[in-house]
Each structure stands twice: as structure tokens, then as C-alpha cells.
């Protein structure tokens, strides 16, 4: 199991040092800092489901073993509790591929575009709900 703080640190580094910038709208207003966006009750569960689906299209029915539970206080209504079966390097690569598909030419990712892509990619709930 990957400690969530380690996962958040690695993904924050991808956002901080990579070409990506997540914004609320085309006017360029940034939603939150990368670390806040990657909180377990913010976009982290969404990004992990998208990364898992990206991997599944390449490897078949292999699951990251995501423990995602409903949380009415979370931004997207879900909270990530754990990732049981995937190495950190694979998660980072799959997340990067997902972000590449949604980013515009300047690397900006609008939350609306991310939501549309997530709805297309992840039409069903987490593939293998795991106990916390």
C-alpha cells in the first residue's frame, strides 16, 4: 500500500514541475494549489480512477485496488482512503498520460474538461472497492 502523503507529494511534483496548470475557467483563474487539488477529498480520487482506467485499457482487468468511499464533504463527493495494488511509478505515468489527454497546448487543464474526460473514461464505479 502506498502512503497517501507520498502519493500526493509525487503528484504535486508532477503538477509543480511539469507543463500542467489546473484552472477553474478559461480566464486562467487557478482552482487551488497543486497540493490542495491532490487532497484525498478533492481531485485525488478522480485522478486515481482516471489513472486506473488508463492502465486497464493497456493491461486488461488489472486494478489499482482503490479504496474510495462516499464523502458528502468532499469536493467530488468521494474520498480516497488507500491505493493497495499499484506501484507509485505506474500511478504517476498513468496520471501523466491522463493529464496529457485533457491539457490544452499551453498545458492548462480546465476542471470542466477534466470532468468530461472523467465521465467518458470512468463510466462505472471503482473496479475493485477495497476495505480500508
pLDDT in tens, 62-100: 889 999 999 999 988 999 999 999 999 999 999 999 999
d(CA 83, CA 88): 9
In a domain, 129, yes or no: no
Mean pLDDT, the chain, as a whole number? 87
* Domain of residue 91, residue span: 4-121
Share of the chain above pLDDT 90, in %: 55
Write out the three cell numbers for 92.
504517476
Query: Is position 130 within any domain?
Result: no
Question: What pLDDT is stored for residue 127 in this prediction?
Answer: 45
User: Is 127 inside a domain boundary?
Assistant: no
Domain presence at residue 94: yes
Please give the C-alpha separations between residue 109 and each of 66, 76, 83, in angstroms, as whole numbers. Answer: 24, 17, 24
Model-level pTM greater than 0.95? no
In a domain, 52, yes or no: yes
Count of domains forming the chain: 1
Q: Which residue has the higher pLDDT, 34 or 25?
A: 34
- Of all residues in the chain, what percent are helix, strand and coil, respectively (each to 5)? 45, 15, 40
Q: Is the confidence at residue 128, as pLDDT, over 50? A: no
Residue with cell 487543464: 109
Return the pLDDT at 28: 60
Residue 131 lies in a domain: no
The verdict on residue 24 lying in a domain is yes
Q: Is 126 among the domain residues? A: no
Amino acid at each position: 500500500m502506498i502512503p497517501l502523503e507520498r502519493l500526493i507529494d509525487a503528484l504535486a511534483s508532477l503538477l509543480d514541475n511539469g507543463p500542467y496548470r489546473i484552472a477553474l475557467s478559461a480566464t486562467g483563474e487557478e482552482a487551488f494549489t497543486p497540493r490542495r487539488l491532490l487532497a484525498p477529498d478533492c481531485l485525488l480520487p478522480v485522478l486515481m480512477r482516471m489513472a486506473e482506467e488508463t492502465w486497464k485499457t493497456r493491461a486488461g482487468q488489472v486494478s489499482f485496488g482503490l479504496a474510495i468511499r462516499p464523502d458528502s464533504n468532499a469536493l467530488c463527493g468521494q474520498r480516497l482512503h488507500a491505493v493497495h495494488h499499484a506501484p507509485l511509478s505506474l500511478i504517476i505515468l498513468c496520471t501523466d498520460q491522463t493529464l496529457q489527454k485533457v491539457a490544452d497546448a499551453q498545458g492548462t487543464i480546465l476542471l470542466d474538461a477534466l470532468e468530461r474526460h472523467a465521465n467518458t473514461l470512468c463510466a462505472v464505479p471503482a473496479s475493485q472497492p477495497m476495505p480500508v
